[in-house]
Amino acid sequence: MKNRKMVDDAVSRSEDHQSPSTYIDEVRIVPGIEVRLGYLIQGKEGLRQKGVDSLIAIDMLSKSYESQYDIAVVVAADRDFLDIVRAVRNSGKRVYGAFFNKDTSEELRTTFDSSFIFTKEWLQNYIMKPIIDENDAKQLIQ
């Protein structure tokens, strides 16, 4: 299915932590979005997500060979994605990278077919708006 969007995130599996269910529930109702969840663990410096990078890598590679997409957009600055980006590009798909920080490694940025750095203005104009309007959301729930 082309134009499919994958959202990989982490939630706590502990009763001590509230999961971001409102966010996840809102994303789940958007047509064409599949949500896959990793989990959070408590570390010395707070909560850390686990399993999310693996989910992203598995989905990117398996879906590319199943021709479920033509272009992957990765919003991450983690150098751990270098090999998966290369593998997906070798499968004939294009991979675009988007970053929140100009300090992302040059090697990662140049591995993508194209890359984009989010600016405050861009985020205010596009991301801060609702994913779908309230009337569309109500129709989906009914």
Least confident of 31-35, 95-99, 125-129: 125-129
CB 112 within 8 A of CB 86: no
Nearby residues of 20 by Cβ (< 8 Å), 6 or more positions away? 9, 11
Domains and CATH numbers, the chain: 5-141 (3.40.50.1010)
The pLDDT value recorded for residue 18 is 46
Mean pLDDT calculated for residue range 35-41:
82
Percent of the chain with pLDDT over 90: 25
Q: What is the pLDDT of residues 110-122, one digit of tens each?
A: 999 998 888 878 7
Cα dihedral 24/25/28/31 (nearest 10): -130
Query: 29 or 123: whose pLDDT is higher?
Result: 29
